[in-house]
Amino acid sequence: MSICIIGSGIIGLSTALAIQEKEPRAKVTLVAESFSPDVTSDVAAGYWRPSLLVDPRTDVLWRWGELTFQHIERLAYREPDTGALWQSGYEMRQDSVKEDFFWKDTVRNYRNISERELQNMGFSQFKSAIFYTTLALEGSIYLPRMLDQFKRNSGTLQQKRLENLDDIGGSYNAIGNCSGLGAHHLITDTSVYPIRGQTIRVQAPHIKHFYVFDDDYYVLQNGTSIVLGGTHQEHDWDTSVRPADFDHIWNGNTNFLPALKTAKIIKQATGLRPGRPTVRLEAERRAVCGKTKTVVHNYGHSGSGLTLFYGCALDAADLLQQAVHRPNAKL
């Protein structure tokens, strides 16, 4: 039995590993134009926090997120060299809207911060805030580990840009489409659009918490560095690092958190999040290379790929397993 997974970001790699685990005898090939460190999943600070999702199915998102949180928690305790770490910090708002987040019981130590506490902390320009403890999984550390595991499980890699699904060639029993934003062109899904994010990576060991200031700026801890953001420019395909965005991110964050002014800048990056009205995770029967095959789609995770990947990979692997064992079953 042979399965092809398209895409080597967090979604493709986790789907490939999940199907290898379920079907150890399957021949799994991972086809991708780019691999770590050159995919969007490498740019992310990797915080577990549903973000920039417009998908109204909060019960489905909650389940995928919960399974992913549990997975990262296991990594943090058992395999800390995966880049999985606990992080605590604040999200502050200049208005006093208190949102009832569907994910607030998944994270730990979630609590509202009073205006008085904010004033004592020197953040009197903010009217409301929450504090919580979550997990962060640094993509640029975890992705190479997943790739190694995939190869150890006898997986095959193929570096190739596909213009359409027929380009995969071969006689695969089933296909996993984890092409992220690439689905826009690969299968002409024009509902997938870029949400551009530029970041500045700095070293500032004296800063011990994460901070999110309204929807505009963030200071997110990783193991040995901190990621400053953030832009979320919709329908913007530009992957260059723009000086104007650097100024916006740097000035905004240092204005709210002056302790950052002495931070050492180590890297700048841009990534295009795969925005979509809903995450697409479903099986579709369609013609590929002249034959009707099952394609399991798993893409469109927007700003939350590292928050949802594990739960999504388990569901995608179930669908792939059904496709190879019962290829003619009604979907």
Ligand X SMILES: Cc1cc2nc3c(=O)[nH]c(=O)nc-3n(C[C@H](O)[C@H](O)[C@H](O)COP(=O)(O)OP(=O)(O)OC[C@H]3O[C@@H](n4cnc5c(N)ncnc54)[C@H](O)[C@@H]3O)c2cc1C
Instruction: Check residue 239 for interaction with ligand X (CB under 6 A).
Output: no
Number of neighbours of residue 48 by Cβ within 10 angstroms: 23
Among residues 71, 293, 297, 301, the one that binds ligand X under rule CB under 6 A:
301
- Part in contact with ligand X (CB under 6 A); list of ranges 69-77, 92-100, 116-124, 301-309: 301-309
The amino acid that residue 123 corresponds to is F
Q: Least Å distance between CB 193 and ligand X?
A: 13
Parallel, antiparallel or unpaired: strands 174-177 and 2-6: parallel
Among 180, 194, 252, 311, binds ligand X (CB under 6 A): 180
For 235: left if phi > 0, alpha if psi spans -120 to 50, otherwise beta; the answer is: left
Residue partners of 327: CB distance under 8 A and separation at least 6: 173, 174, 294
115 neighbors 127 (Cβ within 8 angstroms) = yes
Residue 150 binds ligand X, judged by CB under 6 A: no
Nearer to ligand X, 299 or 310 (CB): 299
Establish whether 40 is an annotated binding residue. yes
Stretch that binds ligand X, among 56-64, 205-213, 256-264, 266-274 (CB under 6 A): 266-274
Q: Does 134 bind ligand X (CB under 6 A)?
A: no
Nearer to ligand X, 197 or 252 (CB): 197
The C-alpha atoms of residue 133 and residue 109 are separated, in whole angstroms, by 6
Residue from 3, 12, 92, 228 in contact with ligand X (CB under 6 A): 12
Is 47 annotated among the ligand-binding residues? no
Q: Which of 161, 208, 264, 267 binds ligand X (CB under 6 A)?
A: 161
Q: Which of 304, 310, 311, 315 binds ligand X (CB under 6 A)?
A: 304
DSSP alpha helix (H) spans, 79-191: 115-121, 139-152, 183-186
Interface pick for ligand X out of 3, 4, 9, 294 (rule CB under 6 A):
9
**Site mask, ligand X, residues 26-65, x = CB under 6 A?**
------xxx----xxx-xxxxx------------------
Q: Which residues contact 177 (CB under 8 A, 6 or more apart)?
A: 6, 7, 165, 183, 186, 187, 295, 296, 297, 298, 299
Nearest-angstrom CA–CA distance, 203 and 264: 5
- Tell which one of 72, 129, 147, 162 touches ligand X (CB under 6 A): 162
Judge contact between 218 and 211, C-beta under 8 A.
yes
C-beta of 118 vs 231, nearer to ligand X: 231
Asked if 8 and 39 touch (Cβ cutoff 8 Å), the reply is yes
Residue 191 identity (one-letter amino acid): S
- The DSSP annotation for 168-227 comes to G-S--SEEEE--GGGHHHHS--TT-EEEEEEEEEEE-TT--SEEEETTTEEEEE-SS-EE
4 contacts ligand X (rule: CB under 6 A): no
| 273 is a contact residue toward ligand X (CB under 6 A) | yes
* 135 near ligand X, rule: CB under 6 A: no
Comparison of 157 and 324: residue with beta carbon closer to ligand X? 157
Establish if 89 lies at the interface with ligand X (CB under 6 A).
no
Q: State yes or no: 273 annotated in a binding site.
A: yes
Give strand pairing partners of 269: 199
Residues contributing to the annotated binding site for FAD: 40-41
Residues contributing to the annotated binding site for D-dopa: 218, 273, 303
Residues contributing to the annotated binding site: 40-41, 218, 273, 303
Interface residue list for ligand X (CB under 6 A)? 6-12, 32-34, 39-41, 43-47, 161-162, 178-182, 186, 197, 199, 229, 271, 273-274, 299, 301-307
